[in-house]
Amino acid sequence: MSYAGGNRGGTEAIVAAEALRAEQRTVHQRTLSVEAVLGALPEAVDRVMGEAGLWDEETAAVAFLQAAGDSAEAVHLLRAHRSTLTRFAFSEPIEPDAIVLDRRICSAHRSPDGPQLLGSTVDYSPRLLRRSGEPDPLPPNDELLAAMASAEARTSAEHPDRTPQRFTRYLAENNLLSPHSESGVDASGLEDPEPYDLALQPVRLPASRSALLSAMALAETGALVGMWYRSITGPDGYTDETVTVGEVRHGEVDLSVRHPHTGEALVIGQVRMTECEAIDHLNDRGEDPGKFTAGYGLALGHNERKAISMAALDSAAHRIRGTALGDEMEQSIMLTLDGLAANGFLEHLKMPHYVTFRSMMERAEAAQAVAVPPVSTEDDTREDYAE
Amino acid sequence: MSTAAILDKLDHDAGARQNSPRPTVMDEQGKREVRRASLAAVAIPGHQVPFGSREMPVARGWGSGGLQVTLAVGGEDDTVKVIDQGDEEGVNAVNLRRLIRGALGCAGTGDTREATIVQSRHRIPEDRMRVGQTLVLQVPVSEPLRKVEKSVLECQRMHAEADYSRIWVAMYEELAVGGMITTGASYPVMVNHRYLMAPSPIPRWDIPRLNHSEHLTILCHGRDKKIYAVPPHTPVAPVVFDDVPFEVEHTPGSRCELCGSEDTYLVPVQGGNFLCSDVEWCSRVRHRDVDAVEHAALAPQQYYPDAARRQSLRTIGVSDPDRQALTVGGAQAQTALGPDGTRQEWSLKVSGLTKVYPGSWGSSEVVAAADVSFDVAPSEALGIIGESGSGKSTVMRCIIGDETASAGEVRLAGLEDGRRNVFDLDLSARRRLRIGTLAVVYQDPSHGLDMGISAGGNIAERLTAAGWRKYHEIRSRAAALLERVEVPLDRMDDVVGQFSGGMRQRVQIAKALATDPKVLLLDEPTTGLDASVAAGVLDLLRELLAERNIAVVVVSHDFSVVRALTDRAMVMHRGQVVETGLTDQLFADPHQAYTQRLVAAARS
């Protein structure tokens, strides 16, 4: 390898590195099919689609496989792929209340309208490693067996197929929802008639609510969760831990576009999505403590972590809009959460930089030549100041 | 039991375990560490004990702390009850009970009376817990100061010094602005009259049950790696002003639609109805298996909210006694005691104060103050005058404690009769001095005030730090002070950040005088204000000083300010005192060329 010696790959070494990777990849592809990835690793595929901003499960699985399970790399592949696609149409706004639910949780109410539909989740299972061939480390005990038996004995209740009332509607009916949350109007007063599309438009500050929501929907999931968590436990927190989840939903919605000639809305397919409403009491100074506010989060596929952190941050962003802290937060959301940007900038550090570094070195050497030591810095006197 | 029998039993138990192996959720070393931390927590009630919280098979936030405690203190012989929101069937409760029973091999129960350990999220059982039982509460936020202070280090300092005035100010602000406290669950409590504690988010309804309880309560926050405890028979009190009633959650006329209870913690269900949150209690009420009389006595009915009592909280008024307290000898003269037991003449004495800033790359060593000495008597005002960079503000900051002096002494009559050098005190003791002994008015009001809270709240901060605990007294005293400094009382509840510069300075002066300090330091009190506004503040200061037996140091670059306020003055130049004398004499007949320039500037 000539890379280490000359710190410049050379065409030959670059081609060899790519070939080595391609060889390993063929091994993977022989043992693991796209179907197997879709079947066994759906959460990974969903996350990649959400961060890429592209709904195509099969293509996302191909990317995930080609990236050897590196989700950042898979997102990169999909985003680059998206640039190759022509936009034929823009979809109509989806109707979240027409969702076909897989899962729905309302934490804020003991018995909300509609079911607490737990769906498929690991939330309630002990996280104990289970190797194949070994027995269940925590087999059902008498209590669970009894519960299972009584569940079998009971004829399962039929529920009409309808969308349960949103928790924000419940709050509104009880006159507890802030006018802003009820109307969904951007608190900054910025015009926001059309959703801001970050795939086609640059980031601009101040950002409208739809731009903030777009940036969070596309955000690297870990970065978004990290920002939310920092905002709670960090030294500069701008939200608190009193957010309550009014809704978490996962399900499928129809996607429709207008026919170019007839102008009619036609359903062209379905996407799965995760939605969240985060409820917060308006009990800061200057707010109306008789009301609650609601933040909104939506992620492609099944990604509750993203939807919940997004909703909590949306709520915080609107509560502190227009303050210095709010401006900082807005910039952080718009400019620091995109995985492709952050990872790309990090990757660039691995490129040769010896021209610029040479320039810095020359300045360091020049500084040594002109250096004037600090005046009178005897160490024995310094100790007195360090009390 | 014979040794052989014990060995037989051990073999038998081991055989039984072999047949139905239990999952190991936590290794023995980890359990021991949790037990040690729990004991430390019991030894210092309410104090957060850090421990090496292990990762559990449940998410951080799903009770990983409570689970560690139960696994560490529990064993095969225990009977464990696990509830979430008061319900055994909640997702968290089912999940954790399965893990606990599987890992400990212990019995489970829904009946509080049978349980040896109750692990709970968000509730204390309605039934009275008894001697020998342990309540393990899962904690999502262990730091009760978090809502008023984001810095972990500062929170630690506040706990160490029992400096909780910021919590009281937050309460004052809520009462003054909204007429009520808006904190829902997780209402802060004082444990054993010493530590402020977050009682896990149990509702306010449950807080009286922690007070002088018969059972042991261990609270654990797995994510933040903290354990704290309330041992049996420990006083636990919600943070509340002496004259403002604590309120629990209660909707008049509400009753459980299943069991009919009116004296339980009720949660809303569809159709405007309510249910008991404690499912076990609700079921036992229906089966007439409860001691209703005992429970009624335990229910916090004396704390039911009463809107009528809140009305007076927002009114602003100044009582005559408060007004008089401000003008009639608010501060008694106080002088130091000399070595021979005789009274000295000074309240503040500074000797040989020196401050040297060491050099570093790009900056050279600076002697900001060299061997500065002076003293000030009660009712006397001393001026320190000089240009910017002369060292006058450095002297001031060293006396206050904002900077550490390199050498010298500062003595206060209010501190051990002047026998103690202030510089020998630790930072905590120096901070305490500033509550009632030594007050400061800064040039920049944002250094002396919290711009995000009201004028009244800023004064309340000083008063609550000094131990005031009656809301109406605090409010009345704050109103009297604001009236005295001519801040319109209808602005008392506005945040100071909305005030003009002159108004902010008046609030700062009112705060500085709130606890009748014996020594007052004024650092460029009118610099930065318009000339006419500055003249008004100067007039006010002159009146206030004349009313009080207070020792004052005025630092200014402006001879006219020093002349308006002080009797004596010293002139500083490049860290040295170059001239001292009676202020009028210095002004009329300055000897040093530097002083002459300052006088000329003031006359122009």
Closest CA to A110 of B271, B386, B181: B271
Indicate if the pLDDT at residue A387 is higher than 50.
Answer: no
Lowest mean pLDDT among A87-101, A165-179, A232-246, B220-234: A232-246
Tokens of B287: 């089966």
Measured at the alpha carbon of residue B63, what is the angle toward residues B61 and B68, in degrees to the nearest 5?
A: 125
Q: Which residues of A touch B177 (CB under 8 A)?
A: 285
Distance between CA atoms of residues B104 and B109, nearest Å? 14
Instruction: Determine whether the interchain pair A374/B404 forms a contact, defined as Cβ–Cβ distance below 8 Å.
Output: no
Is there a domain that residue A101 lies in? yes
- Any CB–CB contact under 8 A between B101 and chain A? yes
Size of interface A-B (CB pairs under 8 A): 105
- Any CB–CB contact under 8 A between B28 and chain A? no
Closest CA to B31 of B83, B87, B72, B84: B72
ipTM: 0.79
Closest in A138, A235, A289 to B23, CB measured: A138
Which stretches of B151-256 are DSSP H helices? Answer: 152-160, 165-178
Q: Quick one: closest CA in B to A231, which residue? A: B150
Q: Quick one: closest CA in B to A230, which residue? A: B150
Residue B387 half-sphere exposure, CB side, CA atoms within 13 Å? 10
Beta strand pairing call for B226-230 and B266-268: unpaired
Q: Would you say B375 and B562 are in contact if contact means Cβ atoms under 8 Å apart?
A: no
Better-scored residue on pLDDT, A32 or B511: B511
Indicate if the pLDDT at residue A13 is higher than 80.
Answer: yes
Beta bridge partner(s), residue B191: B195, B236
Q: Are residues A39 and A108 in the same domain?
A: no
Q: Which residues of B touch A376 (CB under 8 A)?
A: 358-359, 364-365
Closest Cα in chain A, distance from residue B580 (Å):
29
Q: According to the model, what pLDDT value does residue B252 have?
A: 92
Which residue is catalytic, options B106, B155, B220, B259?
Answer: B259
Q: Which residues of B touch A141 (CB under 8 A)?
A: 98, 101-102, 108
- Any CB–CB contact under 8 A between A289 and chain B? yes
Q: Quick one: closest CA in B to A377, which residue? A: B359
Q: According to the model, what pLDDT value does residue A373 have?
A: 63
Tokens of A326: 């709010």
Q: Which residues of chain B have pLDDT under 50?
A: 328, 330
Q: Are residues A195 and A301 in the same domain?
A: yes
Instruction: Determine whether the interchain pair A124/B91 forms a contact, defined as Cβ–Cβ distance below 8 Å.
Output: yes
Q: What is the mean pLDDT of residues A105-122?
A: 88
Distance between CA atoms of residues B178 and B298, nearest Å? 30
- Any CB–CB contact under 8 A between B269 and chain A? yes
> Which residue's entry shows tokens 């990090």?
A346
Q: Quick one: closest CA in B to A385, which residue? A: B406
pLDDT band for position A7 (cuts 50, 70, 90): low
Which residue is catalytic, options B106, B155, B220, B282?
Answer: B282
Q: Which of A214-223, A375-384, B339-348, B523-532 is most confident?
A: A214-223
- Any CB–CB contact under 8 A between A179 and chain B? no
Distance between CA atoms of residues A308 and A297, nearest Å? 6
pTM for the full predicted model: 0.86
Indicate if the pLDDT at residue A153 is higher than 70.
Answer: yes
Indicate if the pLDDT at residue A11 is higher than 90.
Answer: no
Q: What is the mean pLDDT of residues A59-81?
A: 94
pLDDT digits (tens, 9 = 90+) for A284-324: 888 888 999 999 999 999 999 999 999 999 999 988 888 88
The CATH number of the domain covering residues in B23-238: 3.40.50.11310
The dihedrals phi and psi of B75, each to the nearest 5 degrees, come to -155, -175
- Any CB–CB contact under 8 A between A379 and chain B? no
Show me where the domains of chain B are located: 23-238, 377-403+434-603
Is there a domain that residue A127 lies in? no
Q: What is the mean pLDDT of residues A110-128?
A: 86
pLDDT digits (tens, 9 = 90+) for A97-107: 899 999 999 99
Which stretches of B49-131 are DSSP H helices? Answer: 64-73, 91-104
Instruction: Determine whether the interchain pair A124/B268 forms a contact, defined as Cβ–Cβ distance below 8 Å.
Output: no
Q: Which residues of B touch A175 (CB under 8 A)?
A: none
- Any CB–CB contact under 8 A between A141 and chain B? yes
Touching A: B residues 228-267, CB under 8 Å: 267
Which residue is catalytic, options B106, B220, B276, B398?
Answer: B276
Interface test with B, best of A109, A239, A285, A368 (most B CBs within 10 A): A285
Is there a domain that residue A145 lies in? no
Task: Supply the DSSP string of B403-452, one letter for each residue.
Answer: S--SEEEEEETTTGGGTS-GGGS-HHHHHHHHHHTEEEE-SSHHHHS-TT
Distance between CA atoms of residues A333 and A315, nearest Å? 13
The dihedrals phi and psi of A117, each to the nearest 5 degrees, come to -100, 105
Residue B357 vs residues B254, B371, B556: alpha-carbon distances, Å: 68, 14, 22
- Any CB–CB contact under 8 A between B548 and chain A? no
Distance between CA atoms of residues A355 and A87, nearest Å? 41
Q: Are residues A225 and A259 in the same domain?
A: yes
Residue A265 half-sphere exposure, CB side, CA atoms within 13 Å? 10
Q: According to the model, what pLDDT value does residue A28 have?
A: 62
Tokens of B102: 């599987």
Better-scored residue on pLDDT, A312 or A144: A312
- Burial group, residue A90, by CB count within 10 angstroms (0-12, 13-18, 19+): exposed
Interface test with A, best of B109, B182, B360 (most A CBs within 10 A): B182
Q: Are residues A167 and A76 in the same domain?
A: no
Closest CA to B555 of B411, B369, B428: B369
Q: Are residues A113 and A218 in the same domain?
A: yes
Is there a domain that residue A167 lies in? yes
- Any CB–CB contact under 8 A between A150 and chain B? no
How many of the other CB atoms lie within 10 Å of CB of B260? 11
The CATH-assigned architecture of domain B377-403+434-603 is 3-Layer(aba) Sandwich (3.40)
- Any CB–CB contact under 8 A between B361 and chain A? yes
Containing structural domain, residue A262: 96-119+163-341
Q: What is the mean pLDDT of residues A68-86?
A: 94
- Any CB–CB contact under 8 A between A376 and chain B? yes
Is there a domain that residue A335 lies in? yes
Q: Are residues A263 and A332 in the same domain?
A: yes
Distance between CA atoms of residues B454 and B236, nearest Å? 30
Closest CA to B106 of A314, A141, A260, A109: A141
Is there a domain that residue A154 lies in? no
Instruction: Determine whether the interchain pair B406/A235 forms a contact, defined as Cβ–Cβ distance below 8 Å.
Output: no
Residues 6+ apart with CB under 8 A from B162: B194, B195
Q: According to the model, what pLDDT value does residue B430 have?
A: 93
Q: A379 in helix, strand or coil?
A: helix
Is there a domain that residue A140 lies in? no
Q: Is B282 a catalytic residue?
A: yes
- Burial group, residue B215, by CB count within 10 angstroms (0-12, 13-18, 19+): buried
The shares of helix, strand and coil residues in chain A, as percent rounded to the nearest 5, are: 45, 15, 40
Distance between CA atoms of residues B164 and B166, nearest Å? 5
Beta strand pairing call for B551-556 and B381-385: parallel
Closest in B57, B140, B269 to A127, CB measured: B57
Closest CA to B268 of A169, A114, A110, A291: A110
The dihedrals phi and psi of B195, each to the nearest 5 degrees, come to -105, 135
Q: Would you say B99 and B67 are in contact if contact means Cβ atoms under 8 Å apart?
A: yes
Q: Is B259 a catalytic residue?
A: yes
- Any CB–CB contact under 8 A between B140 and chain A? yes
Q: What is the mean pLDDT of residues A121-128?
A: 85
Strands (E), A259-322: 265-281, 292-300
Which residue is catalytic, options B106, B155, B220, B256?
Answer: B256
Q: Which residues of B touch A240 (CB under 8 A)?
A: 146-147
Cα dihedral B452/B456/B459/B464 (nearest 10): -100
- For chain A, the domain total comes to 2
Distance between CA atoms of residues B298 and B275, nearest Å? 19
Instruction: Determine whether the interchain pair A144/B182 forms a contact, defined as Cβ–Cβ distance below 8 Å.
Output: no
Instruction: Determine whether the interchain pair A118/B91 forms a contact, defined as Cβ–Cβ distance below 8 Å.
Output: yes
Better-scored residue on pLDDT, A84 or A386: A84
Interface test with B, best of A109, A111, A245 (most B CBs within 10 A): A111
Distance between CA atoms of residues B190 and B235, nearest Å? 8
Closest Cα in chain A, distance from residue B213 (Å):
28
Strands (E), B106-254: 107-108, 117-121, 134-138, 189-191, 195-197, 216-221, 226-230, 236-238
